[in-house]
Amino acid sequence: MLNIDYFKYRTLLTGKYLNRKTYSKKDPRKILAFIPGTIRKVEVKPGDTVEKGQLLLTLEAMKMKNRIISPLDGKISKVTVKTGNTVAKNELLIELE
């Protein structure tokens, strides 16, 4: 029960609310696709050292080329895509050490 200005409100939890995805903090070392699209060019390979702001790959979506850059300094541990691959939203593209 919820009281607001002397009025009582009864609330119920819906199935949609109960089945929602719980919040998890994003890992900055995992580069995910923010939109579905096609990989046009991969600029790095496993073992490469990258600096914050360096171009990692180009993702084409809706006729626009999106430059995916490194959010931090590090070393590439895994590249899960190749040029020409189609990716879904939130798919892992690159992982940093």
In this predicted structure, the answer to whether residue 26 has a pLDDT above a threshold of 80 is yes
Q: Is there a domain that residue 15 lies in?
A: no
Q: Is there a domain that residue 53 lies in?
A: yes
Q: Is there a domain that residue 2 lies in?
A: no
Taking CB atoms within 8 Å and a gap of at least 24, the contacts of 44-52 are 44/76, 44/79, 44/94, 45/76, 45/79, 46/76, 46/77, 46/78, 46/79, 47/75, 47/76, 48/75, 48/76, 49/74, 49/75, 49/76, 50/74, 50/75, 50/76, 50/96
Higher pLDDT, 23 or 56: 56
- pLDDT given for residue 24 in this prediction: 85
Q: How confident is the model at residue 3 (pLDDT cuts 50, 70, 90)?
A: confident
- pLDDT given for residue 2 in this prediction: 79
- pLDDT given for residue 22 in this prediction: 86
Q: How confident is the model at residue 14 (pLDDT cuts 50, 70, 90)?
A: confident
* Residue found by looking up tokens 């690159």 in the block: 94
Q: Which domain holds residue 69?
A: 27-96
CATH number at residue 58: 2.40.50.100
- pLDDT given for residue 84 in this prediction: 95
Q: Is there a domain that residue 6 lies in?
A: no
- pLDDT given for residue 4 in this prediction: 85
The total of structural domains in the chain comes to 1
d(CA 80, CA 42): 10
- pLDDT given for residue 96 in this prediction: 95
